[in-house]
């Protein structure tokens, strides 16, 4: 197996290579796709490097890093403002049949990049972090709750019946309250113009909610607005976007900004009318409950709430997957020795 480290001169050309290779990758997540990675890529990746694994003339793996201030960042820029569109389910692309040795070879080759002193791996599954080598100078684990829709079907197809009695009561009471205003309708944006208009409505509700908590929210900068407008256009064109609107009597209850790829729906952001919800209206629970039922009826395999400990995620999910945010350093570097000492003092293993 040969690993090549290639400075990327043309991101558009890389996009063509990446897209062609996606078809060879089982379990591709939306966040590994060029729809996400290639969105405003010229602006996000100032010093991109492609790591390419090949054996016997067959392409086995690709990993895109950006080099910034001694850090190699997997599918991220390394600059907080440009990485504010939160990446999850992040990993190198691996062809079908490529074993863990390919993953390890790709990631460990990154340490040989001139000037690379740290590897930044955001939103990766544990095997990716383990394969990178080094030692974790910073490490955070977050659970990503999801609804295993295939498991629901195997158990008879009644997702609501699998929820706790309290969660079922909250959802049904909320839907009754909204239905009293008029017919409930969950719709999906069908055109680019409609999707962009709904995105703006979602952002307005999202920002009102976050301002009430004294926080900026997920669309607070001009870059974030441009990124998501571009992403909505890109994802819609490939049928990878579920931008949903729930209305009651023609009035918006809330919007969901979801992605969809290969049988998995990713619940990325929302804009909910909390101000008009009333005493027992639960716009988030109502929107997600109907969206899960929609995904179940459409034959999707999972409805993924992504990382976070929000109560509604735990209440609606029937499974969870761990994701890690890791900054790795060489084991025998000064930061590595500090990290190992810190770990020894705390009694943690690994």
Span 151-197, pLDDT tens digits:
999 999 999 999 999 999 999 999 999 999 999 999 999 999 999 99
Residue 98 pLDDT more than 90?
yes
The per-residue pLDDT for 180 is: 95
State whether 209 and 270 are in the same domain. Answer: yes
Q: Give all strands (DSSP E) within 88-155, no chain letters.
A: 93-94, 118-124, 135-148
What is the number of structural domains in the chain?
2
Query: For residue 54, what pLDDT is reported?
Result: 97
User: Quick check: is 44 in a domain?
Assistant: yes
Phi, psi of 328 (to 5 degrees): -100, 145
**Are residue 158 and residue 92 in the same domain, yes or no?**
no
Q: Using CB atoms within 10 A of its CB, is residue 63 exposed (0-12), middle (13-18) or buried (19+)? A: buried
- Final residue in a domain of this structure, among 102, 133, 164: 133
CATH number at residue 9: 3.40.630
pLDDT digits (tens, 9 = 90+) for 72-90: 999 999 999 999 999 999 9
Confidence (pLDDT) at 350: 44
User: CA-CA distance, 181 to 248, in Å (whole number)?
Assistant: 6
CATH code assigned at 295: 3.40.630.30
How much is the pLDDT for 137?
A: 86
pLDDT of 287-320, one tens digit each? Answer: 999 999 999 999 999 999 999 989 999 999 999 9
Q: For residue 129, what are the domain limits?
A: 2-133
- Within a domain: 15: yes
């Amino acid at each position: 197996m040969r690993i090549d480290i290639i400075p990327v001169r043309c991101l558009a050309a890389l996009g063509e290579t990446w897209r062609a290779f996606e078809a060879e990758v089982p379990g591709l997540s939306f966040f590994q796709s060029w729809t996400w990675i290639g969105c405003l890529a010229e602006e996000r990746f100032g010093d991109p490097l492609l790591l390419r694994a090949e054996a016997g003339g067959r392409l086995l793996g690709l990993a895109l890093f950006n080099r910034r201030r001694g850090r190699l960042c997997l599918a991220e820029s390394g600059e907080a403002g440009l990485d504010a569109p939160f990446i999850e389910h992040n990993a190198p692309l691996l062809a079908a049949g490529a074993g863990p040795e390919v993953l390890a070879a790709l990631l460990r080759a990154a340490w040989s990049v001139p000037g690379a002193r740290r590897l930044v791996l955001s939103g990766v599954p544990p095997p990716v972090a383990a394969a990178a080598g080094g030692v974790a100078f910073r490490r955070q684990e977050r659970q990503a709750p999801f609804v295993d829709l295939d498991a629901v079907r195997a158990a008879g197809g009644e997702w609501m019946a699998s929820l706790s009695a309290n969660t079922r009561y909250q959802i049904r009471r909320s839907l009754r309250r909204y239905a009293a205003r008029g017919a409930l309708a969950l719709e999906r944006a069908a055109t680019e113009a409609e999707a962009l208009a709904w995105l703006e409505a979602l952002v307005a509700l999202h920002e009102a909610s976050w301002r009430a908590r004294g926080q900026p929210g997920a669309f607070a900068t001009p870059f974030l607005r441009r990124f998501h407008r571009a992403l909505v256009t890109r994802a819609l064109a490939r049928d990878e976007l579920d931008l949903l609107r729930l209305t009651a009597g023609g009035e918006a209850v809330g919007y969901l900004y979801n992605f969809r790829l290969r049988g998995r729906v990713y619940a990325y952001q929302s804009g909910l009318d909390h101000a008009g919800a009333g005493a027992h209206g639960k716009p988030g629970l109502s929107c997600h409950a109907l969206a899960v039922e929609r995904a179940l009826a459409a034959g999707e395999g999972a409805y993924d709430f992504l990382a976070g400990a929000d109560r509604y995620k735990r209440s609606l999910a029937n499974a969870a997957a761990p994701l890690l945010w890791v900054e790795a350093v060489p084991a025998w570097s000064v930061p590595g020795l500090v990290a190992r000492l810190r770990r020894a003092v705390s009694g943690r293993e690994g």
